[in-house]
Structure 1
Amino acid sequence: MENLKAEIVNIHEKLKDPVFLGSLFHVAASERENTNRILKTLLARLESIEARLRKLEGSTRPEGPRPPTILPDVDFEVMQFVKDKGRVYATDVKKRFKYKGTNAACARLNKLYDQGLLEKKQVGRRVYYYAKEVDVQKA
């Protein structure tokens, strides 16, 4: 017990010494620099591994035939209409399917675009939709 008290008093006295505190701060700062250097190296290695993984994932996608996409009747008919005409815009779909406004036709075409079945290109104020080479089936 006496030994422990003496050690505590000794440490307390050392903490009052500015040279000791300076060397303590210097050691802490150098350790922090070493830790930051190690973390930087680890981060660089992790980024290179992620890049290689992305490259491998991108190159190993199977290029075999995709299963046909099953569509509701109206969507299937819209797809057939787009394939037959080559390119359409919302007004064409509105007239063909007798919609009251172009909003419903535009929404249906955008839905098919979001599913990856159509491509779109804006020419002026009109947005034309083209059929992609995908296999679709009626539900």
Structure 2
Amino acid sequence: MPTFATARMKCAVCGKESAHRVIYSTNCFGSSDLDTRPPEMKRSTMDFWVQECPKCGFVSGRIDDSTSITPEFLESSSYKTCDELSFNSKLASRFYRQYMIKAYENNEREAFFALLHAAWACDDMNDTENAAYCRRAS
């Protein structure tokens, strides 16, 4: 069974401190899906895989991780609208914005996984169009 805690973190972009739920431990029973999506119970922790700063909108696995992203990037129309994609879930939107950040930082591996995670979040909301888009873009 996953264990969680609340941690106060300082945003790497704007410096605002905020509380976030973090996973201390989880487990998996069974095999991953063909697209590497983990089995339960880890699968049910996706909401906690990406954090969002409530002040500036920076998203990351941990908002206190260092980044080269500027406030101007976070204020761009492209970032705020997820490249004008209309996701059915906030989680998919967070993962997509994480992809945008990782792509900007030239971190291809993390950008790929952020898009894959966005596709999984879309799958969970039956958002087949955006799930397919995220998979193609990855």
TM-score, normalization: structure 2? Answer: 0.24
TM-score, normalization: structure 1? Answer: 0.24
- Asked which structure has the greater RCO (Cα within 8 Å, sep 6+), the reply is 1
